[in-house]
């Protein structure tokens, strides 16, 4: 089975790449997703070993902040059953869960690759996060986009940091 690649957005105040790196096993449950298309990506298409671009969103400088991997198959998101959680769903039951999550394991932090840098590259013109009106927290990334971001842009950002 071919490896898939994903961009997963998180607000750094909620869960940053540094939070994942500091977590036991460098792994967190990607819980609280309440969009059906994003849920379906996790439930139906994500597999352990898939690559993840960890993207910081809703912050002063959004962009790709790290590389991670999918560390588990999808399983029911326990926050849907917790009445005290902002993600509680009264329509969900243990027999018929509505929401799922996967575990995500950090591989490494990157020097931030800002959204403006992604937008400026014609090689990434079809990157889903750059589409007008796209607000999904999880989007597929092609193998070519993955390679360009993780090799060309990540290495360039690293070299620029050393030159400063």
What sign has the CA pseudo-torsion 21, 22, 24, 28? negative
pLDDT of residue 152: 86
Provide the domain limits for residue 109.
5-163
pLDDT of residue 57: 97
pLDDT of residue 35: 96
Query: Residue 35 sits in a domain of what CATH number?
Result: 3.10.590.10
- Predicted TM-score (pTM) of the model is 0.92
Number of domains in the chain: 1
Query: Low-confidence residues of the chain, pLDDT below 50?
Result: 163-164
Phi/psi for 97 (5° steps) reads -65, 145
User: CA 116 to CA 63: how far, in whole Å?
Assistant: 8
User: CA 62 to CA 116: how far, in whole Å?
Assistant: 9
pLDDT of residue 154: 83
pLDDT of residue 157: 67
pLDDT of residue 164: 39
Stretch (H or E) spanning 22: helix 17-22
């Amino acid at each position: 089975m071919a490896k898939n690649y994903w961009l997963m957005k998180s607000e750094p105040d909620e869960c940053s790449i540094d939070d994942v790196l500091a977590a036991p096993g460098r792994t967190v449950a990607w819980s609280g997703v309440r969009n059906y298309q994003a849920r379906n990506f996790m439930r139906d298409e994500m597999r352990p070993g898939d690559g993840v671009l960890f993207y910081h969103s809703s912050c002063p400088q959004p962009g790709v902040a790290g590389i991670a991997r999918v560390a588990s198959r999808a399983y029911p998101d326990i926050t849907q059953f917790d009445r005290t959680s902002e993600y509680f769903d009264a329509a969900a039951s243990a027999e018929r869960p509505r929401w799922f999550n996967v575990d995500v394991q950090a591989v490494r932090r990157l020097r931030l690759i800002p959204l403006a840098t992604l937008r400026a590259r014609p090689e990434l013109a079809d990157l889903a996060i750059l589409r007008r009106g796209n607000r999904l927290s999880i989007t597929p990334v092609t193998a070519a986009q993955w390679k360009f971001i993780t090799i060309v842009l990540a290495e360039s950002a690293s070299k620029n940091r050393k030159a400063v």
